[in-house]
Structure formats: C-alpha cells, structure tokens
A and B are shown apart, each in its own frame.
Chain A
Amino acid sequence: SQQGEEDPQALSIQEGENATMNCSYKTSINNLQWYRQNSGRGLVHLILIRSNEREKHSGRLRVTLDTSKKSSSLLITASRAADTASYFCATRSFGNEKLTFGTGTRLTIIP
C-alpha cells in the first residue's frame, strides 16, 4: 500500500520557474527521501531528510519536513527541461528497512 500522497498529481511550468511538490504520509518515520523517475529509466535518489531535520538543500533542490503535519515539500529552483520526470517521496519507518512510496507528481517543464 502507498504510504502517502503527493500533491499535485501533475504540474506543468515554464523553464526557469520554480517547481514545488508536496508529500503527505501517514505514520511516524525515520527519514523521508525524494526520488526522480524519468520515462524509461529507473528511480534515482535525489535527497534524504531525517525526522529530526526540518530543511535540507542539495544544489537546486530544497526539501522541508514537518513531522507534526506528516508532510514534506520538494522545491526545484530554476527548472530545466531535463527536470521533466515523475517525482516520488518515500518514507522509511523506524525498525523497518523498506521504503514506502507516495503516488508521485508528474512534472513537465515547458521550454
């Protein structure tokens, strides 16, 4: 079963704009990760944020985590055509090694 949901399900923006996608989850977590999936390719790990962290940056990516609301957001700044992909959040609970993925956001960057 899916742990949570991503919002929006689909997002189209102009190249150069910022893209924000949100993830909600249901149970307590050890960490939350974001993955990208391009058409025809496997999932690629983007960034991980631990349950005791509130914000993390990596290049053009910024992730926030609000454990009280059981939600996270991923911000991609200065979007590029190559950012076109599906983005998934995935959570790992304490004492559990599996990742539980959300339903994904389909991001399209318009050149």
Chain B
Amino acid sequence: DTGVSQNPRHKITKRGQNVTFRCDPISEHNRLYWYRQTLGQGPEFLTYFQNEAQLEKSRLLSDRFSAERPKGSFSTLEIQRTEQGDSAMYLCASSDLRKSSYNEQFFGPGTRLTVL
C-alpha cells in the first residue's frame, strides 16, 4: 500500500493555459474524490467517482473543469483556460466502499497550482 499519489506536486502556468493533474488512488479503492484548498481554508469538495462513474459534481466545478476516471483506477482533473482564481492546492482522496472504514478518506499530498 503506497498511499495516494498525485502528479505533478507543483504546477506554475500562465493565465489562459490548460493544465492537467493526475491522481493515483490506493490500489483497488473504488471511490476517488477531488477537493480544492485555498490558503487558510479547509478543503472544498469538487467531485467524486465510484469506479469509473462520476457520481457528484460541486457547483464549484465550472465548465472549465473536467475530471475523468476512465478505467476506475487513476483519475485526471483538467482545468481549461486557467484563471488566477484557480490558484489553489488540488487534493485527491480515495476510499474503499467495501470496507467498514469506508468513511475514512485517504488523501494524497496535493498538487499546488499557481496561475500567473
């Protein structure tokens, strides 16, 4: 069990560019979540997947944001036409619905996005 990994750890981009982040959950965890955290605040929910199905999206997830989990394993989060307000830490978490501890979410280290 290597934990949740996220790549890249840091991303600096210019306004208007597209960026893509990757999350690799704990092996065989069937739920995968994306959150966004800005400085001094708690994480805010963006979306989650059960296997490959995207089951819920926050209103925070504008049409510039898209997330996929094509094979029910890793997930990608893409932001198109980035804006300075997108600067934040993007956190991925996973959990296993089949276990009694399914309420516990295991978080990755995050990808810090800076939009110049």
Contact = CB atoms under 8 A, between A and B. Distances in A.
Interface of A: 1-2, 31, 33, 35, 40-45, 48, 88, 90, 92, 97-104
Nearest to A89: B42
B74 interface: no
Given A41-B109, A42-B109, A98-B33, A33 B103 contact: yes
Given A48-B104, A99-B45, 8 more contacts: A1-B44, A31-B103, A42-B91, A42-B108, A42-B110, A88-B42, A102-B42, A103-B40
B33 A104 contact: no
Contacts of A45: 104-106
Contacts, number: 56
Interface residues of B, number: 24
Contacts of A99: 33, 35, 43, 45, 105
A97 B4 contact: no
Interface string B12-40: 00000000000000000001010100001
Contact of B48 (A35, A97, A100): A97
A102 to B, nearest CB: 5
The 10 lowest CB-CB distance pairs between A and B, nearest first, are A101-B42, A42-B107, A98-B45, A43-B107, A42-B109, A45-B104, A88-B42, A101-B43, A104-B42, A102-B42
B2 interface: no
B41 A98 contact: no
B45 A100 contact: yes
29 contacts: A1-B44, A2-B41, A2-B42, A2-B44, A31-B103, A33-B103, A33-B104, A41-B109, A42-B4, A42-B109, A42-B110, A43-B43, A43-B91, A44-B107, A45-B106, A48-B103, A88-B42, A92-B103, A97-B31, A98-B33, A98-B45, A98-B48, A99-B33, A99-B35, A100-B45, A101-B35, A101-B42, A103-B40, A103-B41
